[in-house]
Structure 1
Amino acid sequence: MLLLNCDLGESFGSWQMGLDSQAMPYIDQANIACGFHAGDPDVMQRTLALAKQHNVAIGAHPAYPDLQGFGRRSLHCSETEIINFLHYQIAALSGMAQCQGLSVSYVKPHGALYNDMMSKPAVWQAVVKAMASYHTPLPLMILASKDAGLYWQYATEHGVKLMFEAFADRRYTAQGKLTPRSQPGAVLHGAEVLAQVKQLLQRGSVITDSGTELPLEADTLCVHGDNPEAIAQLQAIRQLLQP
């Protein structure tokens, strides 16, 4: 059975983003921003409390240090820098979670870091090394793709467990990557989202931007909860996933 995950805790100060309180009741896993692309100590605390209230698993959602760009711009960072800023962000969320009797159970990189991890070998290797050297073993959430076996092999060699993620509202390329947001049709809406989820559940595949069928083996499904339409979609997807 697919789990539902959602990126949350992305407000900052008086600036509000997302409908976290409305999304949380429908998801299984909350990917919580760690302060480098969004989030701050107050936002982290509130988001963790919401997760605790609804018995939702907590994931760290670290990013490049890029508040102004919301973590959606690639930065040229060394392996050591990537390892250190990942440890820093995961530890920050983990420490705040422990103050509420909670624990972080996985890590999902955000935005450009996630995309670079899936497309640039040096970034992928640095992320895996960061996970392998963190003091507590934590699974790493990555994109489900046709190259999943290669990622799994490298992670396994370093003692890192993987969780494979599919997206409900993103179009895929024939190569098994997410279609860049800059291209038309990259983000799905309405009935398109539900159709993609149904195909994942029934056939274990999606239809790519070129019209081909792409098999995907996924453990979890990413949904977004940053607008009223997304909340309605979350409710509908939750119904589809009911046994």
Structure 2
Amino acid sequence: MFKLLLIEDDVTLFEEIKERLTQWSYDVYGVTDFANVLADFANIQPDLVIIDIQLPKYDGFHWCRMIRSQSSVPILFLSSRDHPTDMVMSMQLGGDDFIQKPFHFDVLIAKIQATLRRVYDYSSEPSKLRAWCGSTINDDNNTVSNQKASIELTKNEMYILKILIQHKNKIVSRQELIEYLWNDEHFVSDNTLTVNVNRLRRKLDDLELGRYIETKVGQGYMAVEEESACD
């Protein structure tokens, strides 16, 4: 049974979501102290976090930063705020998806299932080490390392990188990436993919590898691996 941490201060909505998710065999936990969400996170060790933006004490963006500083657990934002900058901010801070209130419960379930399937189906495979442009990609701890440094990726970022490397030197279309990642393009925006790829590229810049993820305008993305390109 997957453990979900639902960070939502609206008690009525929390109880409704918990009841519905429990019917789907999820183990749902809430927050006991909105001034110290990390304590609940550490105690529960959830498989997925669902977080509102507008919360007492500190907002959801703050807690997303704090969680991301110590964990790559998938995070879904659930908020009534509908400004594009809120959606972009949630992705840039490490969120995996954004669900706007009011929402249809079937959409919430679909996003939860897709995220858990994406994160834990492939992570349950035997860990593998992959080489790319003089770096080592480690599935076991979601890291990329070379002589310059080591970086940690989120599950989404690692999955994007793995897909591109599996098709290295070939263009992977945006539509293909969306289908690989979310398994149902109806539940993801094109902008979400852009934010995830840009965030991955910025992290790879620390290893001087960001330039080897090329954007092919109007087509998609390509991971380059040639001796001349990776020197």
User: Relative contact order, CA 8 A, sep 6+: which one is greater?
Assistant: 1
Fold similarity call, TM over 0.5: no
Q: TM-score when scaled to structure 1?
A: 0.30
